[in-house]
Structure 1
Amino acid sequence: MTANAVFIQHTGAARYKFNENHPFHPQRLTLASDLLEAAGALEAGHKIQSSAAEDELLQLVHRSDYIEAVRQLSKDTPGDEWVFQAERYGLRSEDTPYFPGMHDAAAEIVGGSVLAADLVMTGQALHAYHMAGGLHHAFPDHGSGFCVYNDAAIAIARIRRLYGARVLYIDTDVHHGDGVQWAFYNDPDVCTYSIHETGKYLFPGTGFAHERGAEEGYGASFNVPVEPYTEDDSWLESFTDSIEKVAASFKPDIIVSQHGCDAHAFDPLSHMHCSMRIYQKMPAIIHRLAHRFASGRWIAVGGGGYDIWRVVPRAWALVWLEMTDHPIASLLAASGTNERLPESWLRRYRLECPDELPTHWLDDTSDWPPIPRRSEIEARNRQTTAIAVQDI
């Protein structure tokens, strides 16, 4: 029987850990999956275990010398010659330092996204969610932005090579999905779309509206860089107006979406002022587009998000609730409604959280301070969005 949705898990997610104080902490995944289980939305029958990707898969995107450098730097005591070369491969920065077991953990993350692709493309599942995936900043020859291997790009390359399907990649992380974009910049059959805080102020400094693709791929790359302190209404207006046009024009066979949740006002690594509302709305929009244009085929992966207590668990859980048509998703979609988080989850984590845990799925923004220059920010975002899709 074909599953409506499958949830991909593996041991590598817990071992992908740069250090205890690094913001890209695997505890994010535990909190989110525990929240789903407490809500009665994630059962054993949903879960599928994946295994590590072999070098042949990694080489669909990454250079063999880079893979070897990752493998050597993963040893408990790397050789001096490899430590010397670590900076060359982007693995000696504060953001992306090498760590023991790095290759195996990152290869397992790739394996999870590739399994999701295979299950959906072979018709064994209509939707697949790999929460540990979404490492969208890794490049063929170097790591970057907390990302060692680019699992989403490898899964897309696998889809193209094995199944010949046209792929729409949608990236809602607050940081530009640069690694995936550049991997397919010349490919007319992979459309990359990214909405993010403008690179004028935020890493990685790319993702401008004029980045439209090259050679045969020109016109298959779309970027919507929004202004700092953008709020829900403007973010959702920019996203909805642009992604509807992109999907209708490209007509994908499958959608792969990356759900970084760092555009939230609480996130410490960006300058947005959005609430949980955008993380309830965007998966619903993507879900609808998948059924409208791609016969329902939809793969979702995680990504960034660095308020690991108040934001990430709810945002990532909301993707699965939408993907499975869970009753909570329907209740939250109704205007003006909210639902309380499971009491068992709140009791379990309330004392560990350094801040006060939210008690409901959506934020109460009634006491949030107003943002100055709101109308100016909204006007600039409308102008940018119009430019981004002007050729469609």
Structure 2
Amino acid sequence: MKPIFCYQVPVVVGSGISGGAIAMMDSDIVIYDKGRILGGRVSSKTKDSVSYDFGATMFRDLMEVHWLGGETEYSISEIWSSKQVQFPTKPIYDQFHFYPTKGMSDLVSGMMGKVKPIQGHTLKRIESPDKETWNLEFYNSETKVSEWISTHNVILTLPIPQILEIFNRSEEDPKLERWADFLEPFNDYRRTLVSYFYWDKWKPNWKSLSLDPSLSIPITTTLERGIDWEYQSWESIKYPDEFEKGSALLVQFGSKFSEAHYEDWMDENRNPTEKYKDYLLHGLREKFDAPPPNLIWNHRWKYAQARMPLLGKEGPLRLDTESFSEWKSLCKETRITILGDWLFGSKIERIIGGIYFLSHNGLL
């Protein structure tokens, strides 16, 4: 089918952290996304006027890039300030970590600025009719029909498994095959199960949990890698005005538990199945002496985090590597740029700082 429109600007697929950072650096783009709302992993949800975060719950302000033998440190807040991106934040956990006071999704919408993503559009195929053009087929979830558009440059920010599915549905193309071969070693993601608990008239014994909501920079999270209830975030400490009498807890479960219980974790309304409702209630009672919550909301991330990012999981982004040089060459030669946590790691500051650095140095 002939494309209905040819964009003279890059087309970005994905409106999460990477998509928002790209929009912050260059508003002269078009963004398509399959979701109904933007945000990706930095998502906030509202339930009965109470908001909470169920993906990332904070970010670190500082990050480093090592390139051409030099070392450069960046402040994410200073990057935002330089690009006129504004949204209120508060420190949390320590003096280096922050969170948006209106929810983590405010982080992405703030970076989007004037760019309004075209939501509800799933990329199905990508084809190249000539050396200068890419045709993209999107499925519109509202109209239930496919739409073709054309562009000269594509930026994909999807998880690798979804990208490879798109390539497999597309006509054979040497450029897509080169990308598929390059991405394969990094195509390893962990699943993560999530539960959110809300009590309208109960709070835990903060002292017994070694937490103090009255601190100027409160600690809200605990992380015990490898156990089932791996990451716990008391969202009610982050948003105290919304939880005057009650409390709310977010739990992200460990990798082994998430893999083992992924399939029947929740029903179509994101309520826990009876099997897991009993398990969760028992865990809350055992760990926090908590009564049954007024709300349990379950979620699951199929591609929560890339396990083996090209630039590592933590520490500086080290760009003086053969694999990064190959990535740069592929982007230039194919007119397809592929970004995301498979490249930078899952930490928000590495993704935003990395995209800022690439754009600032003409590498994006």
Higher relative contact order (CA 8 A, sep 6+): 2
TM-score for the superposition, normalised by structure 1: 0.27
Structure with greater strand percent: 2
Structure with greater helix percent: 1
TM-score for the superposition, normalised by structure 2: 0.28
